[in-house]
Amino acid sequence: MQLTMLIQPVDDLPTAAAFYRDAFGYTEKFRDGARFCLFDTGALPLALAAGEERLTERTALVYRVDDIEAALARLTAAGARVLLPLEAGPHEWRAVLADPASNPLILTARFTPT
């Protein structure tokens, strides 16, 4: 499992993106309309998510995995709860879980060619 980013839910992506760009000087790496923006922070990338990409109501860590079904099984066996079941997002497979302390975490996996 690779920790890939911190995702921050926002109501208004253009306003939030302008804030993080101007106030912190972060460089925008990727944007998907008014729903997702990824910044290079010099450390852990920061993602802003709005609309249908707003998967959680709290800031969450995002983990990239090779086998998302195996990771879901391992984490739920260890005490995680599924908050949003495995689904195909616009760019990857994803699922949202909560750790035993109810902190949200997001699992993602690349789409595999068919």
| Structural domains of the chain, with CATH | 2-109 (3.10.180.10)
Kind of pairing between the strands at 60-64 and 104-109: parallel
- Give ∠ CA 86-89-2 in degrees, rounded to 5: 70
- Rounded CA gap, 14 and 12, in Å? 6
Edge-to-edge strands of the sheet including 60-64?
A: 27-32, 36-40, 46-49, 2-9, 60-64, 104-109, 93-98, 81-88
pLDDT in tens, the chain (114 residues): 999 999 999 999 999 999 999 999 999 999 999 999 999 999 999 999 999 999 999 999 999 999 999 999 999 999 999 999 999 998 999 999 999 999 999 999 999 754
Tokens of 29: 């790496």
